[in-house]
Copies of this chain bind each other. A is one copy, B any other.
Amino acid sequence: MSILIVGSIALDTVETPFDKVENALGGSATYFSLAASYFTGPINLVGVVGEDFSKENIKLLEDHHVDLEGLQIVEGGKTFRWGGKYHYDLNNRDTLFTELNVFKDFDPIIPDKYRKSSHVVLGNIQPELQLKVLEQLDNPKFIVCDTMNFWIEGAKTELLKVLKHVHVLIINDSEARLLTHEPNLIKAASMIREMGPEYLIIKKGEHGALLFGEHMVFSAPAYPLENIYDPTGAGDSFAGGFAGYMHKTSDFSFENIKRAVIYGSAMASFCVEKFSTKGLEDLSTLQIHSRFLEFRELSKFEDDE
């Protein structure tokens, strides 16, 4: 009944108008794990790093109850590195470099003790590898999946195979439009749900998120942040918080999935308030619940009758 997370682990070099960090801990699986760790644990992590991955980073993950049996450390290898620069409006970024290093040959081998994981987060990796992960698992009951334009355009056949198994797909609005060639998001959502996922979450950055189920839609607001220091990892923190809360509660009603969307949004809002993973390293349950209540205040209104 544990939660399995598969994705990238990276060392990020990030520049924003406010600051710059070099070789800071990053990668989708890292953000997933840290965000999920506030709701549940242990987190079964499957990923790959090089020998240069620091003891401090290992310790940070361990401190957040991340089980590292599935972490492959390649002797003599270098960890995946990504460099990006955000502009003044923070909505756009340029990728400065991508050094795949050990991530290039990532083979997600699932340790025996992880095979019975009931909840799975499939990070944004080749759809073929996502399928390979699923094949190694013993009938998981809740599969959350991320993907990106690169796979939608370049590996659509494999992606469509993955989607048949997925319970919740989490993508952004441009990816939803790309996947369906449909500009209307409501129509696009129906089309995507017909591809397999029972639920679809469309992330819209500063405009919040939409959750779609059978004849049901939920609109989650974005937290009104005056100071966004580093948008890196926001989407992954969302998915981690979402999946962590779903694992904690194991309640698959639409009402509860809505709450999971809000907890995901809360984790994303903490993430972007600091550089790299700093915003997710030291939170309290009280802080997270307070932010959840702030989201409620933000979108609540009463009937007048």
Which residues of A approach B to under 8 Å, CB–CB? Answer: 88-91, 183-187, 190, 204, 206-208, 210, 217-222, 224-228, 249, 255-256, 258-259, 262, 289, 292-293, 296, 298-305
Q: Check if A89 sits within 8 Å of B219, measured CB to CB.
A: no
Protomer copies:
2
Q: Check if A185 sits within 8 Å of B206, measured CB to CB.
A: yes
Q: Check if B184 sits within 8 Å of A298, measured CB to CB.
A: no
A sample of 27 cross-chain residue pairs with beta-carbon separation below 8 angstroms, ordered by A number, consists of A88-B183, A90-B184, A91-B183, A184-B225, A184-B226, A185-B224, A186-B226, A187-B226, A190-B226, A207-B208, A208-B219, A217-B224, A217-B298, A219-B224, A219-B299, A221-B221, A221-B299, A255-B301, A256-B304, A258-B301, A259-B301, A259-B302, A259-B304, A289-B305, A296-B301, A296-B303, A299-B300
The smallest beta-carbon distance between A24 and chain B, in angstroms, is: 23
User: CA separation between A88 and B184, bound complex, in Å?
Assistant: 9
For the complex with contacts A185-B224, A219-B299, A293-B303, 19 further pairs of A-B residues with Cβ separation under 8 Å are: A89-B183, A91-B183, A184-B226, A185-B206, A187-B226, A204-B207, A207-B207, A218-B298, A218-B301, A219-B298, A221-B299, A249-B304, A256-B304, A259-B302, A259-B304, A296-B301, A296-B303, A299-B299, A300-B300
